């Protein structure tokens, strides 16, 4: 203690640290040093204590520390519609329930209030970054910024008028204005978000490609969600949707293609060759009987496979631990190979691969000095977490978001011993119940 120690903001010690990079590594009895918004060191606990003088010293002797999970596809305002209509096929679900409700309630406060509820759920579940896909990017940006949550705000484009915009020009103009207003915000990024090939025309897709290139932002789009989508595209365009997107110049490293349950081997190769990211939403695909994404075949081909929960109206939660487990389990059955999509692959998909799909892999997704301090700590003392033979397996196959004790985003503590920091949860829940009443009135007028 005679030598001078370096000051830092946080020294967080854990029994196990899983950095995600290097792949498969589990460091025992290590600490993560955080200064400002960044990770500055990862080293053995004894060394960390000898060398650093932290403002906050967190000791978690029975815990595992890892990067915050990245939910690569969500519609968070729809958290207000959790379980509003289940056990229905996609089109009756959309036409009979989701769209009528949205027509009645969609407005900036619906978006803000739904996102606030979602942030509470995400933080309590170890998710520190999400890839939003909804209307009202201004309300999105405002709300994620207000709560200090890392998110990609979506610039929506769809061939129909909505409460947000009434023409294609307006979708682009208003969306880009939000981008310009928030482009330098440290926690916000953006995506062009065409709804799907079956709801966006060629001219809009060409415009989207130009903006994606100019602004260097991802194109976040539902693609090949169902067999019907393929059939309809063949009838309307004479091409499968991915082939049409390729003709329009969109099949490249900017494309984050969500769902992808219908893929030929040639399409898998094309995605690999072009650096497309596939965002796998296994529970949504199962629940809507959309089909099976060939997640292991994509991984084997070298495609970047991220994981998303989809919206709460179709899932019905934002539980990335459950989604990661479902991805790992389902991929084995689909591949007919119990060694497929192993525990580490699932964790990688739920962290670094999600970051990559969002264009954020240099900032987040792994614990490395210089990266943003987005990290989560899980307590492993419950009977459900005992015994503990291998940390990554335990997290993926037995893990629960309930084990998440602490969460940091950009070095700010957002959940401390399971208590949300800087959020008025009671107010958020009261507001949610008001929306519930209003939505019930729409359903039963």
Distance in angstroms (rounded) separating the CA atoms of residues 376 and 63: 10
Minimal distance in Å, beta carbon 402 to a second copy?
5
3-state class (DSSP) for residue 420: strand
Minimal distance in Å, beta carbon 393 to a second copy?
5
Say which residue the tokens 């989207």 belong to.
208
Interface size with a second copy, residues (CB under 8 A): 69
Q: Going residue by residue from 77 to 116, which x/- string records binding to a second copy, judged by CB under 8 A? A: ---xxxxx-xxxxx--x-----------------------
Give the residue, chosen from 332, 368, 412, 421, that forms a contact with a second copy under the rule CB under 8 A.
332
Q: From 34-42, 49-57, 134-142, 384-392, give the range in contact with a second copy by CB under 8 A.
A: 384-392
Is residue 60 left, alpha or beta, with left meaning phi > 0 and alpha meaning psi from -120 to 50? Answer: beta
Instruction: Please state the separation of Cα 199 from the chain's center in Å.
Output: 23
Rg (CA), the chain: 21
Is residue 277 left, alpha or beta, with left meaning phi > 0 and alpha meaning psi from -120 to 50? Answer: beta
Distance in angstroms (rounded) separating the CA atoms of residues 252 and 236: 23
Q: Does 124 bind a second copy (CB under 8 A)?
A: yes
Q: Does 128 bind a second copy (CB under 8 A)?
A: no
Give the residue, chosen from 112, 140, 326, 405, that forms a contact with a second copy under the rule CB under 8 A.
326
Q: How far apart are the first and last CA of the chain?
A: 71
Minimal distance in Å, beta carbon 53 to a second copy?
34
Alpha-helical regions (H) of 43-164: 45-51, 90-93, 99-105, 108-124, 137-147
Which residues on adjacent β-strands are paired with residue 44? Answer: 30
Distance in angstroms (rounded) separating the CA atoms of residues 89 and 97: 11
Q: Does 120 bind a second copy (CB under 8 A)?
A: yes
Q: Does 260 bind a second copy (CB under 8 A)?
A: no
The closest alpha carbon to 257, from 293, 232, 292, 231, belongs to: 293
Q: Going residue by residue from 304 to 323, which x/- string records binding to a second copy, judged by CB under 8 A? A: --------x--xxx-x--x-
Give the residue, chosen from 22, 238, 370, 383, that forms a contact with a second copy under the rule CB under 8 A.
383
Residue 355, token pair as written in the block = 């970051």
Give the residue, chosen from 15, 48, 298, 428, that forms a contact with a second copy under the rule CB under 8 A.
428
Give the residue, chosen from 25, 167, 440, 441, that forms a contact with a second copy under the rule CB under 8 A.
440
Q: Going residue by residue from 269 to 288, which x/- string records binding to a second copy, judged by CB under 8 A? A: --------------x-xxxx
Scan residues 151-190 and list those touching a second copy (CB under 8 A): none
Which is it for strands 127-132 and 150-157: parallel, antiparallel or unpaired?
A: parallel
Scan residues 398-427 and list those touching a second copy (CB under 8 A): 398, 400, 402, 425
Minimal distance in Å, beta carbon 206 to a second copy?
34
Q: Does 146 bind a second copy (CB under 8 A)?
A: no
With a CB cutoff of 8 Å and minimum separation 6, the contacts of 378 are: 63, 64, 66, 126, 395, 399, 403, 404, 405
Q: Does 23 bind a second copy (CB under 8 A)?
A: no
Q: From 69-77, 148-156, 303-311, 335-343, give the range in contact with a second copy by CB under 8 A.
A: 335-343
For the chain, counts of helices (H) and of strands (E): 17, 16
Q: From 21-29, 75-83, 152-160, 356-364, give the range in contact with a second copy by CB under 8 A.
A: 75-83
Q: Which is nearer to a second copy, 75 or 371 (CB)?
A: 75
Distance in angstroms (rounded) separating the CA atoms of residues 164 and 154: 12
Q: Does 393 bind a second copy (CB under 8 A)?
A: yes
Distance in angstroms (rounded) separating the CA atoms of residues 298 and 226: 18
Say which residue the tokens 């509820």 belong to.
117
Note whether 67 and 352 are within 8 A (CB): yes
Minimal distance in Å, beta carbon 256 to a second copy?
23
Which residues on adjacent β-strands are paired with residue 256? Answer: 220, 277
Give the residue, chosen from 235, 339, 370, 445, that forms a contact with a second copy under the rule CB under 8 A.
339
Minimal distance in Å, beta carbon 315 to a second copy?
7
Give the residue, chosen from 73, 394, 408, 409, that forms a contact with a second copy under the rule CB under 8 A.
394
Residue 238, token pair as written in the block = 């004479």
Q: Which is nearer to a second copy, 281 or 377 (CB)?
A: 281
Q: Is the dihedral of CA 163, 237, 226, 272 positive or negative?
A: negative
3-state class (DSSP) for residue 273: helix
Minimal distance in Å, beta carbon 386 to a second copy?
5
Backbone angles phi, psi at 428, to 5 degrees: -60, -40
Give the residue, chosen from 340, 358, 377, 409, that forms a contact with a second copy under the rule CB under 8 A.
340
Q: Which residues of the chain form contacts with a second copy (CB under 8 A)?
A: 80-84, 86-90, 93, 117, 120-121, 124-125, 283, 285-292, 312, 315-317, 319, 322, 326, 328-330, 332-333, 335-340, 342-343, 381-384, 386-390, 393-394, 397-398, 400, 402, 425, 428-429, 432-433, 435-436, 439-440
């Amino acid at each position: 203690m005679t030598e001078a120690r370096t000051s830092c903001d946080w020294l967080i010690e854990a029994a196990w640290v899983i950095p995600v990079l290097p792949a498969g590594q589990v460091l025992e009895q290590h600490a993560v040093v955080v200064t400002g918004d960044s990770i500055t060191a990862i080293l053995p606990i004894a060394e960390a204590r000898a060398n650093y003088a932290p403002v906050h010293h967190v000791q978690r002797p029975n815990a595992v520390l890892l990067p915050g999970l990245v939910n690569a596809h969500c519609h968070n305002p729809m958290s207000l519609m959790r379980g509003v209509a289940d056990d229905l096929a996609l089109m009756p679900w959309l036409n009979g329930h989701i769209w009528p409700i949205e027509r009645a309630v969609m407005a900036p406060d619906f978006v803000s209030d739904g996102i606030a509820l979602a942030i509470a759920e995400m933080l309590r579940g170890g998710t520190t970054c999400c890839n939003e896909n909804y209307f009202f990017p201004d309300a999105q940006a405002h709300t994620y910024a207000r709560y200090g949550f890392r998110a990609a705000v979506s610039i929506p484009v769809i061939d129909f008028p909505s409460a947000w915009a009434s023409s294609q020009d307006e979708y682009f103009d208003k969306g880009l204005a939000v981008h310009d207003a928030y482009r330098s915000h440290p926690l916000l990024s953006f995506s062009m978000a065409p709804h799907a090939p079956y709801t966006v025309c060629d001219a809009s897709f060409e415009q989207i490609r130009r903006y994606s290139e100019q602004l260097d932002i991802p194109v976040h789009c539902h693609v090949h969600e169902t067999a019907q989508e393929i059939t309809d595209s063949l009838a309307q365009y004479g091409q499968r949707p991915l082939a049409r997107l390729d003709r329009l110049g969109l099949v490249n490293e900017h494309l984050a293609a969500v769902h992808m349950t219908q893929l030929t081997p040639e399409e898998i190769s094309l995605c690999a060759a072009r650096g497309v990211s596939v965002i796998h939403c296994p529970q949504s695909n199962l629940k809507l009987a959309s089909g099976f994404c060939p997640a292991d075949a994509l991984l084997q081909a070298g495609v970047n496979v991220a994981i998303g929960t989809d919206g709460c109206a179709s899932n019905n939660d934002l539980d990335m631990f459950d989604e990661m487990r479902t991805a790992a389990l389902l991929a084995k059955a689909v591949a007919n190979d119990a060694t497929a999509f192993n525990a580490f692959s699932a964790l990688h998909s739920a962290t670094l691969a999600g970051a990559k799909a969002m264009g954020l892999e240099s900032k987040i997704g792994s614990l490395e000095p210089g990266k943003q301090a987005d990290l989560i700590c899980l307590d492993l003392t419950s009977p459900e977490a005992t015994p503990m033979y291998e940390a990554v397996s335990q997290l993926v196959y037995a893990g629960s978001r309930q084990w998440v004790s602490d969460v940091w985003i950009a070095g700010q503590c957002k959940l401390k011993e399971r208590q949300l920091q800087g959020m008025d949860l009671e107010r958020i829940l009261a507001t949610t119940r008001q929306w519930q009443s209003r939505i019930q009135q729409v359903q039963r007028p």
